[in-house]
Amino acid sequence: MTVHIGAKPDQIAETVLMPGDPYRAKWAAETFLQDPVLVNEVRGMLGFTGTWRGNRVTIQGSGMGMPSLSIYANELIRDYGAKTLIRIGSCGAMQERVKIRDIIIAMTASSMSTPSRGIFRELQFAPCADWSLLNAAVQATKARGTPTHVGGIYSADVFYDERPDLNEQMTRHGILGVEMEAAELYILAARYGVRALAVLTVSDHLLTHEALPSEDREKSFGDMVEIALEAAFS
């Protein structure tokens, strides 16, 4: 047990999928894993461990935003020995060519700040995905024919953004989409020598203001879970 995770030491797998929403962790575990067992419910941040094609996997909610993700990722890596962490979540598109339901695989994650800002001080560290996971996820999306974009994303500190000028600069510089967790996950993976990736479903569009209809969310989310699982075990 750690401060925020109630699982016993051997109840967390080396491969962990991390959706922001704990109920998505429950849905994904019950839909895609064999014999899922609830291993954490501290603060309602549900985590489940089961198997996928014979491989042990944990699906643990991260909560929203980098400070929350940082707590869970730190404890998973440092206390439970997680070696592969894949964020699965939604994002807002920042390019016209990126459409609702498309998948974004985040090669890099820019930010204004992260919980690790205090370490880096004047250094503008460039958080990047693990290449082997990224490559495997791209192959998985190709095999399925899912429309996919690979490139930089933006990990924001706020959902209710007050800097339209900054969003314009990011669109101008090719940033594909915005979410709120990946940059810190990539930084922690670099710090502890483990693998990380973020596979995201486009749920809304900052330029066209479209949004994924709620009845489509489950199917789009399911594609992303399977891509993450295939990437983890390829």
**14 Cβ partners below 8 Å, 6+ apart?**
56, 81, 82, 83, 84
- Are the C-beta atoms of residues 66 and 180 closer than 8 Å to each other? yes
Candidates 156, 185, 199, 232; binder of ligand HPA (CB under 6 A) is: 156
Two structure tokens written together for 157: 């500190």
Q: Which of 102/179 has CB closer to ligand HPA?
A: 179
Using rule CB under 6 A, residue 23 touches ligand HPA: no
Could you give the CA distance from residue 110 to residue 55 in angstroms, rounded to a whole number? 32
Using rule CB under 6 A, residue 179 touches ligand HPA: yes
- Phi, psi for residue 191 in degrees, rounded to 5: -65, -40
- Are the C-beta atoms of residues 64 and 87 closer than 8 Å to each other? no
Of the ranges 10-18, 107-115, 131-139, 178-186, which one interacts with ligand HPA (CB under 6 A)? 178-186
Could you give the CA distance from residue 43 to residue 163 in angstroms, rounded to a whole number? 32
Q: How far is the CB of 190 from ligand HPA (least distance, A)?
A: 22
**48 Cβ partners below 8 Å, 6+ apart?**
25, 26, 29, 30, 33, 36, 37, 38, 39, 58, 59, 60
Candidates 47, 61, 92, 127; binder of ligand HPA (CB under 6 A) is: 92
> Which of 157, 204, 216, 223 is the catalytic position?
204
Using rule CB under 6 A, residue 203 touches ligand HPA: yes
Using rule CB under 6 A, residue 188 touches ligand HPA: no
Using rule CB under 6 A, residue 175 touches ligand HPA: no
Parallel/antiparallel/unpaired status of strands 195-205 and 84-93 = parallel
Using rule CB under 6 A, residue 216 touches ligand HPA: no
Question: Number of residues in contact with ligand HPA, rule: CB under 6 A?
Answer: 10
**Could you give the 3-state DSSP secondary structure of residue 107?**
strand
Looking at the DSSP bridge assignments, the partners of residue 84 are 15, 195
Of the ranges 76-84, 133-141, 175-183, 224-232, which one interacts with ligand HPA (CB under 6 A)? 175-183
Q: How many residues are there in the chain?
A: 234
Candidates 178, 185, 225, 232; binder of ligand HPA (CB under 6 A) is: 178
Q: How far is the CB of 234 from ligand HPA (least distance, A)?
A: 27
Please say if 161 is a catalytic residue. Answer: no
Q: How far is the CB of 133 from ligand HPA (least distance, A)?
A: 21
Using rule CB under 6 A, residue 91 touches ligand HPA: yes
- Positions marked catalytic: 204
